[in-house]
Protein backbone atom coordinates (compact mmCIF):
# COMPACT_ATOMS: atom_id res chain seq x y z
CA UNK A 1 0.00 0.00 0.00
CA UNK A 2 1.53 3.25 -1.10
CA UNK A 3 -0.23 5.91 0.91
CA UNK A 4 -0.34 5.08 4.58
CA UNK A 5 -2.78 3.18 6.72
CA UNK A 6 -5.20 4.29 9.40
CA UNK A 7 -5.66 2.33 12.56
CA UNK A 8 -8.79 2.30 14.72
CA UNK A 9 -9.96 0.31 17.73
CA UNK A 10 -12.87 -2.13 17.82
CA UNK A 11 -14.32 -3.32 21.13
CA UNK A 12 -15.93 -6.71 21.38
CA UNK A 13 -17.10 -9.04 24.16
CA UNK A 14 -14.52 -11.81 24.76
CA UNK A 15 -16.98 -14.57 23.70
CA UNK A 16 -17.78 -12.95 20.38
CA UNK A 17 -14.13 -12.26 19.67
CA UNK A 18 -12.98 -15.80 20.42
CA UNK A 19 -15.65 -17.28 18.15
CA UNK A 20 -14.65 -14.89 15.40
CA UNK A 21 -11.01 -15.89 15.78
CA UNK A 22 -11.96 -19.58 15.55
CA UNK A 23 -14.07 -19.21 12.42
CA UNK A 24 -11.57 -17.07 10.51
CA UNK A 25 -8.69 -19.40 11.43
CA UNK A 26 -10.71 -22.36 10.06
CA UNK A 27 -11.24 -20.41 6.83
CA UNK A 28 -7.53 -19.78 6.47
CA UNK A 29 -6.99 -16.24 7.75
CA UNK A 30 -3.79 -15.68 9.72
CA UNK A 31 -4.69 -12.15 10.74
CA UNK A 32 -7.79 -10.60 12.33
CA UNK A 33 -7.36 -7.22 10.66
CA UNK A 34 -7.16 -8.88 7.22
CA UNK A 35 -10.41 -10.80 7.86
CA UNK A 36 -12.21 -7.62 8.92
CA UNK A 37 -10.99 -5.74 5.85
CA UNK A 38 -12.30 -8.55 3.62
CA UNK A 39 -15.72 -8.55 5.28
CA UNK A 40 -15.88 -4.76 5.04
CA UNK A 41 -14.98 -4.81 1.32
CA UNK A 42 -17.64 -7.41 0.62
CA UNK A 43 -20.19 -5.26 2.47
CA UNK A 44 -19.20 -2.16 0.45
CA UNK A 45 -19.24 -3.95 -2.91
CA UNK A 46 -22.73 -5.28 -2.19
CA UNK A 47 -23.85 -1.77 -1.32
CA UNK A 48 -22.26 -0.34 -4.50
CA UNK A 49 -24.12 -2.85 -6.70
CA UNK A 50 -27.39 -1.97 -4.98
CA UNK A 51 -26.89 1.78 -5.30
CA UNK A 52 -26.15 1.60 -9.04
CA UNK A 53 -23.49 4.29 -8.65
CA UNK A 54 -20.03 4.18 -10.18
CA UNK A 55 -18.40 1.53 -12.30
CA UNK A 56 -18.33 -2.12 -11.28
CA UNK A 57 -17.14 -5.41 -12.73
CA UNK A 58 -19.36 -8.44 -13.29
CA UNK A 59 -18.52 -11.96 -14.40
CA UNK A 60 -21.17 -13.91 -16.25
CA UNK A 61 -20.89 -17.69 -16.01
CA UNK A 62 -22.80 -19.67 -18.67
CA UNK A 63 -23.25 -23.35 -19.49
CA UNK A 64 -24.72 -24.24 -22.88
CA UNK A 65 -24.88 -27.02 -25.43
CA UNK A 66 -23.15 -25.93 -28.64
CA UNK A 67 -25.13 -28.46 -30.67
CA UNK A 68 -28.44 -26.89 -29.81
CA UNK A 69 -30.03 -24.12 -31.85
CA UNK A 70 -27.67 -21.36 -32.85
CA UNK A 71 -26.81 -20.48 -29.25
CA UNK A 72 -23.13 -19.91 -29.97
CA UNK A 73 -23.83 -17.54 -32.86
CA UNK A 74 -26.33 -15.56 -30.82
CA UNK A 75 -23.96 -15.26 -27.86
CA UNK A 76 -21.20 -14.09 -30.17
CA UNK A 77 -23.50 -11.53 -31.80
CA UNK A 78 -24.58 -10.22 -28.39
CA UNK A 79 -20.97 -9.88 -27.26
CA UNK A 80 -20.01 -7.97 -30.38
CA UNK A 81 -22.98 -5.66 -29.94
CA UNK A 82 -21.89 -4.90 -26.37
CA UNK A 83 -18.16 -5.05 -27.09
CA UNK A 84 -17.47 -1.81 -25.25
CA UNK A 85 -18.70 -3.33 -21.99
CA UNK A 86 -17.06 -6.72 -22.45
CA UNK A 87 -13.47 -7.03 -21.31
CA UNK A 88 -12.74 -10.67 -22.06
CA UNK A 89 -14.25 -14.13 -22.48
CA UNK A 90 -13.01 -17.53 -21.36
CA UNK A 91 -14.35 -20.60 -23.13
CA UNK A 92 -14.02 -24.21 -21.93
CA UNK A 93 -15.16 -27.41 -23.66
CA UNK A 94 -16.66 -29.38 -20.77
CA UNK A 95 -17.54 -32.49 -22.80
CA UNK A 96 -18.71 -33.42 -26.30
CA UNK A 97 -21.78 -31.22 -25.88
CA UNK A 98 -21.33 -28.67 -23.14
CA UNK A 99 -19.46 -25.38 -23.16
CA UNK A 100 -18.70 -23.16 -20.19
CA UNK A 101 -18.21 -19.50 -20.93
CA UNK A 102 -17.16 -16.77 -18.50
CA UNK A 103 -17.71 -13.23 -19.78
CA UNK A 104 -16.14 -10.32 -17.89
CA UNK A 105 -18.16 -7.10 -18.09
CA UNK A 106 -17.47 -3.53 -16.93
CA UNK A 107 -20.04 -0.74 -16.48
CA UNK A 108 -22.80 0.52 -14.21
CA UNK A 109 -24.57 -2.21 -12.23
CA UNK A 110 -27.82 -1.40 -14.06
CA UNK A 111 -26.25 -1.85 -17.51
CA UNK A 112 -24.49 -5.04 -16.47
CA UNK A 113 -27.74 -6.51 -15.09
CA UNK A 114 -29.55 -5.72 -18.34
CA UNK A 115 -26.82 -7.34 -20.44
CA UNK A 116 -26.79 -10.36 -18.10
CA UNK A 117 -30.56 -10.84 -18.58
CA UNK A 118 -30.09 -10.80 -22.36
CA UNK A 119 -27.31 -13.36 -22.26
CA UNK A 120 -28.92 -15.68 -19.70
CA UNK A 121 -32.28 -15.76 -21.50
CA UNK A 122 -30.65 -16.67 -24.83
CA UNK A 123 -32.22 -19.90 -26.11
CA UNK A 124 -29.92 -22.84 -25.44
CA UNK A 125 -28.21 -21.38 -22.37
CA UNK A 126 -28.88 -23.98 -19.66
CA UNK A 127 -27.55 -22.05 -16.72
CA UNK A 128 -26.38 -18.49 -16.28
CA UNK A 129 -25.22 -16.54 -13.25
CA UNK A 130 -24.00 -13.02 -12.71
CA UNK A 131 -21.28 -12.48 -10.10
CA UNK A 132 -20.83 -8.97 -8.75
CA UNK A 133 -17.34 -7.68 -8.04
CA UNK A 134 -15.33 -4.48 -8.18
CA UNK A 135 -12.78 -2.55 -10.20
CA UNK A 136 -10.78 -2.43 -6.98
CA UNK A 137 -10.90 1.39 -6.91
CA UNK A 138 -11.03 2.76 -3.37
CA UNK A 139 -10.90 -0.69 -1.81
CA UNK A 140 -7.16 -0.86 -1.10
Q: Does the footprint of a copy of itself cover residue 110 (CB under 8 A)?
A: no
Q: Does the footprint of a copy of itself cover residue 92 (CB under 8 A)?
A: yes
Q: Among 74, 79, 100, 108, which residue interacts with a copy of itself (rule: CB under 8 A)?
A: 100
The answer to whether 119 and 60 have CB atoms below 8 angstroms apart is yes
Distance CA 95, CA 74 (A): 21
Distance CA 55, CA 45 (A): 11
Residues 41-60 that bind a copy of itself (CB under 8 A): 41-45, 47, 57, 59
Q: How far is the CB of 10 from a copy of itself (least distance, A)?
A: 5
Q: Among 80, 83, 84, 95, which residue interacts with a copy of itself (rule: CB under 8 A)?
A: 95
Q: Does the footprint of a copy of itself cover residue 77 (CB under 8 A)?
A: no
Distance CA 131, CA 118 (A): 15
The answer to whether 48 and 54 have CB atoms below 8 angstroms apart is yes
Count of CB atoms situated within 10 Å of the CB of 54? 13
Nearer to a copy of itself by Cβ, of 1 and 84: the residue is 1
Amino acid sequence: MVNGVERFGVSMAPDLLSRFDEVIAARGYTNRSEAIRDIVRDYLIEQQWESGEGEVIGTLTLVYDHHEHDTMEQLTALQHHYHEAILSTLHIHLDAHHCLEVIVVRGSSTDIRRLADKVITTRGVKHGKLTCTTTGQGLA
